[in-house]
Amino acid sequence: MTIFCSLWCLIFRMIFNRNLFMEAKMMSRKSAGIGLLFLVIFLPSALWAQEMMYGKWWRDKAIIQELGLSDSEEKILDEKYIESRRKMIELKSEIEKQRFELDLILGAKDADKHRIMERYKSLEEARAKLSKVRFEMLMDVRETIGVERFQDLQFMHRERGRRDWDRNEMKRSRRDRYSNRDRD
């Protein structure tokens, strides 16, 4: 309720105070710019992450059976996973720190372009390190199970993704069909 009242007070002041209106307009432009910057920064890594199979997929009985994984291969994958996860946790923490520092600089009135770009460069370097660790894990999996079974795993992952997408489409279609009936 207090947020609602504060919003109305702000609108009322903006109507009667042109300077405040101009400040709000500038703030919204800055917010939109910052939002666009974060979209450009984070979207590529999110899209790339969708291509990878996360978690302990080698514990899935269907995958074990289809790929014919041995107990020793599962153990090696577990060890590599633990090692990789530890590195990724550290690097994700570093990325969060870099994002925080970039946010601080972007919010500062006296920040110059050079400082902002340096902080952005640090953030991108941290992201590149995380991406490298993820890729190294992928290469460890490939080395452990062999190229042929790795290709089978990729195929299985793509098929699973298609099935999930098809399932979501069917749900959406049913929901749309039933919601249209309610309107009629």
For the stretch 145-163, pLDDT in tens is: 999 999 999 998 888 777 7
Instruction: Please check the confidence at residue 169 and state whether its pLDDT lies above 80.
Output: no
pLDDT on residue 86: 96
146/138 Cα distance (integer angstroms):
12
pLDDT on residue 48: 43
Q: For the segment 38-82, what is each residue's pLDDT rounded down to a tens digit?
A: 555 555 544 444 444 567 889 989 889 999 999 999 999 999 999
Highest mean pLDDT (candidates 59-63, 90-94, 164-168): 90-94
Confidence band, pLDDT 50/70/90 cuts, at residue 109: confident
Mean local confidence (pLDDT), 129-133: 96
**pTM of the full predicted structure?**
0.59
Instruction: Select 51-183's CATH number: 1.20.120, 2.40.160, 3.30.70, 3.40.50.
Output: 1.20.120
- More confident call, 4 vs 31: 31
Angle between the 71-107 and 113-145 helix axes, to the nearest 10 degrees?
170
* Chain centre to alpha carbon of residue 32: 20
Mean pLDDT of the chain: 78
> What's the burial of 109, exposed, middle or buried (CB within 10 Å: 0-12/13-18/19+)?
exposed
30/21 Cα distance (integer angstroms):
14
Answer positive or negative: Cα dihedral of 150, 156, 158, 164: negative
Mean local confidence (pLDDT), 93-122: 93
- The residue assigned the tokens 């195929």 is 155
130/86 Cα distance (integer angstroms):
11
Instruction: Please check the confidence at residue 3 and state whether its pLDDT lies above 60.
Output: no
DSSP H/E element including 127: helix 113-145
Which value, in Å, is the radius of gyration of the alpha carbons in the chain?
A: 24
- More confident call, 160 vs 122: 122
Instruction: Please check the confidence at residue 23 and state whether its pLDDT lies above 80.
Output: no
- Domains of the chain, residue spans: 1-46, 51-183
